[in-house]
Chain A
Amino acid sequence: MRRKASLVLLAFAVFFTALSPLMRFYAFPRLAKIPPSQYQEMVLEVKPATLIDYGTMKAKKVDKLTIVQTLKGNVEESDKIEKRVGKDVVVWDALVHVVGPDGKMVSQIPERYIFDAHSSEPVNAKGEMVDGKPVKREGIEFKWPFLTEKRDYAYYDARSGTTSPIHYKGTKDFRGVEVYYFEQTIPWTEVDVPNTLPVKGITPESVRKTGTKFWYTTVRKFWIEPTTGAPVYGEEIHREEMRGGTLLEGSGQDKVTAFAGHAKIRDDYVDYTVDLVSSQRVLVLLLTSYLPWGFLGLGAVLLTLSLVLEARSRRPGEPEEHSAPEPEPVNV
């Protein structure tokens, strides 16, 4: 009986011990992925902000601008692209909608971001765009890979259409969560005229005809929870100017600030994001740490029990389970 029990324990010991590395190194890279149906909204505020008045073509100060960013997973599109490229893909339709203090739209930029569900690397496929223009991204955007490393990453800047490093600047504590802090500076760069402008009658084409150019610079800051690769907080010091051309002739300046301000995530969204990322972190840790180490420990305990039972079943002085019966004396 003891021998049977020790064999069963041995089978379970091998089962759990084998499960430990298989879970971490085989299952985790395949199971940890961003769901294609994710829907997420984020609100950032700029207090105060500088904004162009298209009536006078002069910059004016406003108390507050609000940036509403929505990311919506497009499951149908990701299915189509997955079939073509043969890997798990996420398609995010995103909209950055900027609202002025009067509640009216200031600018609106749609995006379609296509990326690998496991590595967060961009997947170049038909439909990828920023503000209606087809693009071919290089580098991550919005989301870092699972198990983010303490190093620089190539990051895609949608406004300028360029990729440059976003630098790892240290590990910090953000509201009780250990995060990696990243920062990227985009130097003054000429950018396209936005497709959606807030004043009727002014179109991108009419602005281009005046010879006036849009220039932009930004400092982008992200606080990334490294296990999930998800941002728990972000800030952007953004500055945009209109330069030259006949559009500015009346203002008496050769350049005017179109937008300037320091955007920060609204406090209630910071709390919401920290809670969300903390719960997701536990799921990732289950696959990378809790279950593999737990299984390894359980395997060791079961192996020890199995060996103890086996040793007891062989102890001298105790009858062997399957020993042959003693021969009886034969009377002649």
Chain B
Amino acid sequence: MRALIAATVGLVAALALVLTMSAVGAPPGETSPKPLLTTVPEHP
């Protein structure tokens, strides 16, 4: 019985972690202030 509880705890923790990570995701960031180029850049 105790083994079953331990396994359930592990499974629930894994599900919680993955669901939280997927829900939060990465921040979108901001639109770059750099312009669309009309000159040839020297280097990348």
Contacts and interface: CB of A to CB of B under 8 A. Distances in A.
Interface in B30-44: 30-32, 34-41, 43-44
Contacts of B40: 43, 66, 68, 99
Contacts of A183: none
A76 B31 contact: yes
A22 B32 CA distance: 34
Residue of B2, B11, B26, B44 most packed against chain A (CB within 10 A): B44
A102 to B, nearest CB: 12
Contact of B14 (A18, A75, A95): A18
B24 to A, nearest CB: 10
Interface in A1-58: 7-8, 10-16, 18-19, 22-23, 26-27, 30-31, 33, 35-37, 39, 41, 43
B21 A75 contact: no
B18 A11 contact: no
A31 B14 CA distance: 16
Chain B at the A interface: mostly helix, strand, loop or mixed?
loop
Given A27-B21, A70-B37, A95-B36, A15 B28 contact: no
Contacts of B34: 39, 72
A73 interface: yes
A178 B22 CA distance: 29
Nearest to B38: A97
A41 B14 contact: no
A94 B38 CA distance: 12
A35 B27 CA distance: 8
Sort chain B's interface into a size bin. Answer: 20 to 34
A268 B38 CA distance: 19
A116 B32 CA distance: 20
B18 A7 contact: no
B43 A268 contact: yes
A19 B37 contact: no
Contact of A74 (B11, B31, B35): B31
B22 A26 contact: yes
B31 A31 contact: no
A138 interface: no
B6 A22 contact: no
17 contacts: A8-B6, A10-B3, A18-B10, A19-B14, A26-B22, A30-B22, A31-B25, A36-B29, A41-B44, A43-B41, A72-B34, A75-B30, A75-B31, A76-B31, A110-B36, A268-B44, A272-B44
Interface of B: 2-3, 6-7, 9-11, 13-15, 17-18, 21-22, 25-26, 28-32, 34-41, 43-44
Interface of A: 7-8, 10-16, 18-19, 22-23, 26-27, 30-31, 33, 35-37, 39, 41, 43, 66, 68, 70, 72-76, 78-79, 93-95, 97, 99, 105, 108, 110, 268-269, 272
4 closest A-B pairs by beta carbon, nearest first, are A37-B29, A14-B10, A272-B44, A39-B32
